[in-house]
Every structure is written in C-alpha cells, then in structure tokens.
Copies of this chain bind each other. A is one copy, B any other.
Amino acid sequence: MLLAIKEDGGPKGKQVVTQVQALIARGALKPGEALPSTRLLAEQLGLHRSTVAAAYQDLWAQGCLDLRPGAQPRVRPRGGLIPAPPAGAPGFPWEARLADLGRLPRRPVRPEGAISFADFTMDPRLMPVAAFERSLRSVLRRRGPEVLAYGDPQGQPGFRALLAARMAQHGVAAAPEEILVTHGSQQALELVLRGVARPGDAVLVETPTYNQFLRLLGLLGLRALAVPEGPGGPDFAALEALVRRERPALAYVMPSFRNPTGRSLDPAQRERLLALCGAAGLPILEDGFTEEMKYFGRAIQPLKALDRSGLVIYAGTFSKILFPGLRLGWIAAPEPCVAGLTALRAAGELGPPPLLQEGLEDFIRLGRFDQHLARLHRCFRRRMDAALAALRRHLDPAWAAWEAPAGGYLLWLRLTGFDPALDLEAALARHGVAVRDGRSFFPCPAEGPRWVRLSISTLDEAEIARGIERLAVGLRALRGT
C-alpha cells in the first residue's frame, strides 16, 4: 500500500484516511484485501503508532475497514450504500402519502411600495421589544437552569396561574389545573380537533370562517358544516336543523371580531348558541384570538363565562396582541379535558419553552403587558376610525358594503359587479395595495358577490388612508371589466 505523507499536507492521520479512501475508491485496494498493521504502517511512514491507529478507527467508523482484535485490518466489502433510484423510477408508496399533505404556498411577492392590508400580524413599530428583553434577562438570571430544562408538560405552573387570573377578568372561572399552555392558539385548535373528533366527523363552522381552520379540518379528515349567516348573524333555525341532522362532533366559534369578518355575536346570540349546543351536548371550541382587542364600547363576556357544564373549550393566544413569534397560547377547559389534551400533546412534543412562558409571565406581572394593551387600544381606536372614514370617503356604497367592527383589526368588504374569474389579489397588487381575497374563508366556494378582507394591523392612519384610496382607485378600474 503506497501512501505519501507530506509535511505540509495537514494533519497526518487525516492524510492517511484520505489516501486509503482514495485507494479504495479507485479499486487499488480491493474488498477483503489486508492492510499493514498499525505498527508496520507507522514504521513505514515515520508516524506515531497512535496516529495510525486513530486513522484506522476513523476508516472503520466510516465503514471502510474491518478491524478485529488480533486480526489484520481488511478493506470491508461495501454492501450498504443505497444508490439513488434511476430517473423516472416509480416512487415509494409512502412518498405519495407525503405528497398528499400538500405544500405551503410560497409567500406572495409584493410590488415595492405596496400598502398591505393582507398582513395580519403585530405592527413591528408597536412591539415592546426592550421591555420584553428585560423580562427574559431577569428570568434567565434568576432561574436560568430551570427555564432551560424540561418544563411542566401542561405549561409552567406560575404562568398557568396568571392565565387563570386573566380569564377571571373576563368572567371565566378556571383553575390553573384547567389551563393548558399551547404553541399559539393554532395548536389549541389542532389538539381539540384531534382529541374530540374522529376522521369522518362533521364540525360546525361559521360562514365565513378562519381559512387555516378549514385547512386543518381537511388534513384531519373532518368535514366542515357551514352554518348559514344572515345580515344580523348566524341563522339559528338552520343551525338547529344541522345539529339534529348531522350530529357534528364540535362547533367552532369566534364570538368576538371573527376572522375574516370582524363581526361579533351579541349577548343574546351567545346565549342562544349556548342553549342550543347545551341541549344537544355539543361541545363548543371558542376561539378568543382577539378577545382583548375590544376598544369601542364594552367587552362582551366570552361564551365560556356563561358555561357551568364544561361544554365550552376556550382557546386564547398572545399572537395577535403581543409577539406572534413567542408562539404562546392556551386552552381553558374542564380538568379532565385538559389532562387528556396534555397527554396527547406530550406524546408529540413536550410543550412551549419554559423560558418564554416565564419571561412572558414576568412581563405581565410587572404591568408591562397591560401598558402595551392600553397603548394598542388607543392606537387601533384611531386606526379603525381612520379606516372607516376612508372607506366612507372613497368607496361607493352602491357596490361596496362593510360593517363597523367593535374592535380587532379586520374589515370585510362585500363587492358587487366584479368578474367572478378576476384574480382580485393580483389585480389590486398592480394598484399598489395588497389584500386577501375573501374566498378562501368560505367552506364552499361562494357564488355571487366578491369579498375582500382588510387587516389594518400593521398600518398607521396615514398608510390606511392612502391604502384605501389606492384600493378604491383599483376597484373602480377593475369593476365591470
């Protein structure tokens, strides 16, 4: 075996490894062929014997050599490298299963300078980053090893106690044992569906509703049952008939500032819904994703506040009122429900990072969150007023209609006289304004009017006014084309 070790060729053991690999690769060393012992090779090359021994160990670990105590080192017959399949070969069946899961759409590229009513996230200009950093640092200094270790699979106890206390401010009586901390409310929705429903079951949804919830239903093999909605709210007679006929496993409801319409149920509608579901023993998944964003008038109590029977499972989140990237939300539900969902979640993953839970707890206990929330309310009262004024000013009520929401970030436009085949998002983007086409929020593609969802979450008053003016110009140009 001919090896040439160079003084300036890098670590010598490494040179041995590379050169033996090369000899094997080009067939100069054949499978089964013996190599010199470590002693002999070390003498030949003028190396320490331990250097050669380490190089042989490396070659063994890479599967190149057979090393057995007392036997000569030999080149291993390579059996295991699985080659790439020939081009055009049929795939494995499990590849088709993965392909069925679909792909996330690429984020749309927005034209430079476009004003976006499409983004539904926290305005970076309103994020209290420095104050949160202080809370994180404080927790790391006080409890570093604890918050970087495995946490309580149900959520950190102190953070759960705090969430329970905040729920009490909304009239909801929940003990810390009745709280499960989740990765945002999105995980809460998935866990409840997986825990309560079985593939093939039907789930009641408002019309229109959160599009990602519809996607989730599809992935879990569940059917969406759309509750028809009139101008004043859900059609309760139709809802009752659906419940009787289809025996759904769950009702999914966003009572406040619903995504995408911004609408809320009034107290009478909430009670009627509860009475109806209570009589049928139908559990309700209440999505309170922007519960805290009531900035016009008084906050209406959540459904969960009116329930003593354990029928309502409440899902909350900090994503729409603080930092989406913390991925922190929660479920409030009867203890047996929370225990089952905790077990389900723990089998899949062990829960949100304790550091972020305790950091947020510190931030809230120091009053920093309530300060931030008060600022958000002041800010969005002005922004929503600006949006409503701009809509009144620029849009023609003959073909564009909307309702004034009592809070939240969303406006929902109903547009008549537009080509059903028109790609509204792309066409409006050419007018410098990004919106969400309302269609994806309907369980079944809706006929008739076109719908547009406007989120004002990341825009200030001036941007809103300019954006709605552009929207109006765009819509006028597109109408009847």
Residues in A lying within 8 Å of B, measured CB to CB:
54, 57-58, 60-63, 66, 76, 78-85, 92-95, 97-104, 121-122, 124-125, 127, 129-130, 132-133, 136-137, 140-141, 144-151, 153-154, 171, 182-184, 186-187, 190, 195-198, 212, 215-216, 219, 249-250, 267-268, 270-275, 278, 281, 283, 297-301, 306-311, 319, 323-327, 336-337, 339-344, 346-356
20 A-B pairs (CB sep. < 8 Å): A60-B267, A62-B171, A63-B267, A81-B308, A94-B250, A95-B336, A97-B198, A97-B340, A100-B340, A104-B339, A104-B342, A122-B148, A124-B145, A127-B145, A133-B137, A151-B325, A183-B350, A184-B350, A187-B349, A216-B348
Task: Enumerate chain B residues within 8 angstroms of A310, measured Cβ to Cβ.
Answer: 84-85
Q: A61-B300, A82-B274 are in contact. List 20 more A-B contacts (CB 8 A).
A: A60-B267, A63-B301, A76-B267, A76-B268, A80-B270, A80-B274, A82-B308, A83-B309, A98-B195, A100-B340, A104-B339, A122-B148, A124-B146, A125-B145, A127-B144, A127-B145, A148-B323, A190-B348, A216-B347, A219-B347
Are the CB atoms of B323 and A62 closer together than 8 Å? Answer: no
Are the CB atoms of B148 and A140 closer together than 8 Å? Answer: no
**In-complex Cβ contact of A149 among B154, B270, B325 (8 A):** B325
Please classify the interface of chain A as helix (H, G, I), strand (E, B), loop, or mixed, using the class held by over half of its residues: helix
Closest to A301 in B: B62
With A and B bound together, what is the CA distance between A10 and B352 in angstroms? 40
Q: How many copies of the chain does the oligomer comprise?
A: 2
With A and B bound together, what is the CA distance between A135 and B469 in angstroms? 44
Are the CB atoms of A103 and B339 closer together than 8 Å? Answer: yes
Task: Enumerate chain B residues within 8 angstroms of A186, measured Cβ to Cβ.
Answer: 348-350
Are the CB atoms of B149 and A121 closer together than 8 Å? Answer: yes
Task: Enumerate chain B residues within 8 angstroms of A311, measured Cβ to Cβ.
Answer: 82, 92
**In-complex Cβ contact of A124 among B61, B149, B274 (8 A):** B149
* A92-B281, A309-B82 known; A148 vs B270 contact (CB < 8 Å): no
Task: Enumerate chain B residues within 8 angstroms of A326, measured Cβ to Cβ.
Answer: 148, 353, 355
Task: Enumerate chain B residues within 8 angstroms of A151, measured Cβ to Cβ.
Answer: 325
- How many Å from the CB of A88 to the closest CB on chain B? 14
**In-complex Cβ contact of A148 among B212, B249, B274, B325 (8 A):** B325
Task: Enumerate chain B residues within 8 angstroms of A268, measured Cβ to Cβ.
Answer: 63, 66, 76
**In-complex Cβ contact of A190 among B104, B153, B250, B347 (8 A):** B347
* A80-B271, A272-B79, A336-B95 known; A61 vs B148 contact (CB < 8 Å): no
With A and B bound together, what is the CA distance between A187 and B215 in angstroms? 20
Task: Enumerate chain B residues within 8 angstroms of A325, measured Cβ to Cβ.
Answer: 147-151, 353-355
**In-complex Cβ contact of A101 among B57, B85, B323, B344 (8 A):** B344
Task: Enumerate chain B residues within 8 angstroms of A132, measured Cβ to Cβ.
Answer: 140, 148
Are the CB atoms of A61 and B301 closer together than 8 Å? Answer: yes
With A and B bound together, what is the CA distance between A182 and B183 in angstroms? 12
Are the CB atoms of A127 and B99 closer together than 8 Å? Answer: no
Count chain B CB atoms within 10 A of each CB in A66, A183, A187 and give the residue with the most: A183
Task: Enumerate chain B residues within 8 angstroms of A250, measured Cβ to Cβ.
Answer: 94
Are the CB atoms of A79 and B275 closer together than 8 Å? Answer: yes
Task: Enumerate chain B residues within 8 angstroms of A187, measured Cβ to Cβ.
Answer: 348-349
Are the CB atoms of A337 and B98 closer together than 8 Å? Answer: yes
Task: Enumerate chain B residues within 8 angstroms of A272, measured Cβ to Cβ.
Answer: 79-80
- How many Å from the CB of A66 to the closest CB on chain B? 8
With A and B bound together, what is the CA distance between A457 and B98 in angstroms? 37
Are the CB atoms of A79 and B196 closer together than 8 Å? Answer: no
